[in-house]
Structure 1
Amino acid sequence: MSSATFRVWRGDGGEGALVDYEVEVNEGEVVLDVLHRLQATQAPDLAVRWNCKAGKCGSCSMEINGRPRLSCMTRMSVFAPGEVVTVTPMRTFPVLRDLVCDVSRNYAKAREIPSFTPDPALGPGEMRMRQEDVARPQEFRKCIECFLCNNVCHVTRDHEENKEHFSGPRYLMRVAELETHPADTADRRMIAQDEFGLGYCNITKCCTEVCPENIRITDNALIPLKERVADRRYDPLVWLGERIGLRPGLRRDTPIVPNTRRTPR
C-alpha cells in the first residue's frame, strides 16, 4: 500500500478551487477507486458521477492531469511515483458540483436528429442486410456516450459562441451512422451541414484520440460525412441524378420524423 496526492476540484457552477488530499492507493486500483476511498475517509460530500465501473456506461468522464478520461479505466499505475494526480470536471460542460457536469445539452441535440427511417414499402420481416453492409454503422454503435469527444473538441471547448450551432463529434457521428445504414432512406446531409454545424469541424482528430471505445470518429464518420455533403451541394452530376430520382434508396416523399424517444440516463 502506498499513498498519492490527489488535487481535486471542489465547488459548483459559481466558484471553486483545487484541494489537495493524501489518499491511500492499493495495487491494481483505478482513479475511481481512489476517489471512492476519498469519499469514504476524508470528503463524504465529494460529488462524483459513475455507474458501471466497467468502462461501458460513460458516466465517470472527467479530466485527469488535463486529459479527458474515464476514471474507471485510468489505472493508478500510469502515473509516476510521487506524481500529483489532478482531477477536474469536463471543461466544456457547465459544472453542477465538484466533478459532476451538466451534459443535458447532448441529449437535447440527440432529439433533434431525424430518426431511423426504413423504406415504408417493406413489411415486417422483409428487410434484408448483409454483414458487410452494416460494418460501418456497427462501429459507431459502440459509442458509450461518455461525451469525452464533445468535451475535447476545440470548436466548442475554446469558442463559446459555437455551442449553439455545433452538435459535436458524438452526434455528427450519429448522423453518419444513420446515413451509412443500408436500410435507412432519409437524407440528413444538409441537416448535418446547416443545423448541426458539420462545417465547423476541421478534422483535428482530437475526438478520436480520447475515445475509450477506439472508434475512428474522424476517419470513418466525420470525413465521409463531409464528402457526402460536398457531393450533395457541389457535384452537378449528383445533383442532377437526385433531381431525376437516380439515387438508390432515397425517397423524397418519405417524411423525416424527429427522434423523440431518446431520454437521458
Structure 2
Amino acid sequence: MSAQQEVKQSAAYLAQFRVWRGDPDGGGLEDFKVEVNEGEVVLDIIHRLQATQAPDLAVRWNCKAGKCGSCSAEINGRPRLMCMTRMSVFGRDETITITPMRAFPVVRDLVTDVSFNYTKAREVPSFVPPAGVAPGEYRMRQEDVNRSQEFRKCIECFLCQNTCHVVRDHEENKGAFAGPRFLMRIAELDMHPLDAAPASGLDRKATAQDEHGLGYCNITKCCTEVCPENIKITDNALIPLKERAADRKYDPLVWLGNKIRRRE
C-alpha cells in the first residue's frame, strides 16, 4: 500500500447517522453507521447509505451544487441543504440526525410535499409592464437593478418557508400567510421602478397586508439565518415592505396624498 493510500484510508471513518424513515402514516428514526471520507458533504453520505444499506431510502436531489434547492432537509434540527453541509463541521463522534422539513407533509422518508409553496407563488400577481414602453426599452438605475438582483438569487429551496414559525408551528396559518419567500417576491415587485401595478389598480402593499399575511411576520430573522444564498430577507425585503405598508395605512400625509390622487 502506498503512502498516499495509507493517508486516504486513515482519513476515512465511520459516522453515526440517525435518519427518519416513514410515510404519511408515521415513521421514526433509524440508526446507521456509514463511512465518511475527507471532503464529503451530507448528501454524499446519504447516497452511500442508499448504495450500501438502505436502497429504498427516498431523498430528493438534483444538482449537488447548491443551486437547485432540491435536497432541503433538517440536519440536527437545523434546516439546511444536504449538498452544502460539509461533514467536517461535525465531530467524528457526533450523531448526525437527518429528518424531513417539518413544515410540509411527508411523502416518504426525507421527501416532503412542497406544493404549498407553488400555490402561494401563483397567488402573487406578476410584474405589470409599463404602458407605452417595449420590453427592449426598459431602463433602470444600477442601484435598482442591484436591489432586485439580491432577491433573484433565491433557489427556492424553501428553507426559509420551513423555518418560519408562523407556518412551522401553526398549520392553520398556511391559508392566510404566504411566507417569507413570497413576501420577498412582493417586496421585489413593489420596489421595482418599472412595475406599473399602481396604474392598473393593484396596490401591492395592501395585498401584502390583507391577502398574504404580512402582519403575521414578527421579523425574528430566522428565514435570513437559514438562507443558503445569504439573502437578507428580513432586513432588505420584509422590514422595508412592512414600513411601506404601515406608511400607506397610518401616515396622515400619505393618507391625504392618496385621497387627493383618487379625487383627481
| TM-score (norm: length of structure 2) | 0.91
1:149 to partner: Cα distance: 0.4
Q: Deviations over 1:164-207 (max 9, x none)?
A: 11111000000001111111121311111111100000000000
Which residue number corresponds to residue 211 of structure 2? 195
1:158 to partner: Cα distance: 1.2
Distance 1:105 1:51, change over 3 A: same
Higher helix share goes to which structure? 2
Which residue number corresponds to residue 62 of structure 1? 73
Moved >4 Å (runs of 4+): none
Matched, 1:218 2:243: no
Distance 1:152 1:124, change over 3 A: closer
Query: Partner letter of residue 144 of structure 2?
Result: D
For these two proteins, the number of residue pairs brought into alignment is: 247
1:129 to partner: Cα distance: 0.8
Which residue number corresponds to residue 121 of structure 1? 132
Matched, 1:107 2:118: yes
Matched, 1:244 2:233: no
SS at match of 2:261: coil
Paired-residue identity, %: 76
SS at match of 2:136: coil
**Aligned-residue RMSD, C-alpha:** 1.3
Preserved contact between residue 64 and residue 87 of structure 1 (Cα < 8 Å): yes
Matched, 1:2 2:29: no
User: Structure 2 residue aligned with 1:233, among 246, 249, 252?
Assistant: 249
Query: Partner letter of residue 242 of structure 1?
Result: N
Query: Partner letter of residue 101 of structure 2?
Result: M
User: Structure 2 residue aligned with 1:165, among 172, 176, 188?
Assistant: 176
1:72, 1:232 → 2: CA distance?
A: 43
Considering Cα pairs closer than 8 Å and 6+ residues apart, tell me whether 1 or 2 has the greater RCO: 1
Tell which deviates more after alignment, 100-109 or 184-193. 184-193
1:244 to partner: Cα distance: 3.3
Which residue number corresponds to residue 204 of structure 1? 220
2:83, 2:136 → 1: CA distance?
A: 41
SS at match of 2:46: helix
Tell which deviates more after alignment, 48-57 or 118-127. 118-127
1:124 to partner: Cα distance: 4.1
Which residue number corresponds to residue 52 of structure 1? 63
1:243 to partner: Cα distance: 3.4
Preserved contact between residue 134 and residue 182 of structure 1 (Cα < 8 Å): no
Preserved contact between residue 109 and residue 171 of structure 1 (Cα < 8 Å): yes
Residues 29-178 of structure 1 correspond to what in structure 2 (within 5 A)? 29-178=40-189
1:126, 1:216 → 2: CA distance?
A: 30
SS at match of 2:137: coil
**Rg (Cα) greater in structure:** 2
1:176, 1:211 → 2: CA distance?
A: 17
SS at match of 1:245: helix
| TM-score (norm: length of structure 1) | 0.91
Query: Partner letter of residue 226 of structure 2?
Result: V
2:40, 2:213 → 1: CA distance?
A: 40
1:58, 1:245 → 2: CA distance?
A: 44
Query: Partner letter of residue 67 of structure 1?
Result: R
Q: Deviations over 1:113-138 (max 9, x none)?
A: 01001212223433211211222111
2:33, 2:92 → 1: CA distance?
A: 14
Distance 1:12 1:245, change over 3 A: same
2:190, 2:61 → 1: CA distance?
A: 32
2:143, 2:186 → 1: CA distance?
A: 19
1:6, 1:125 → 2: CA distance?
A: 53
SS at match of 1:244: helix
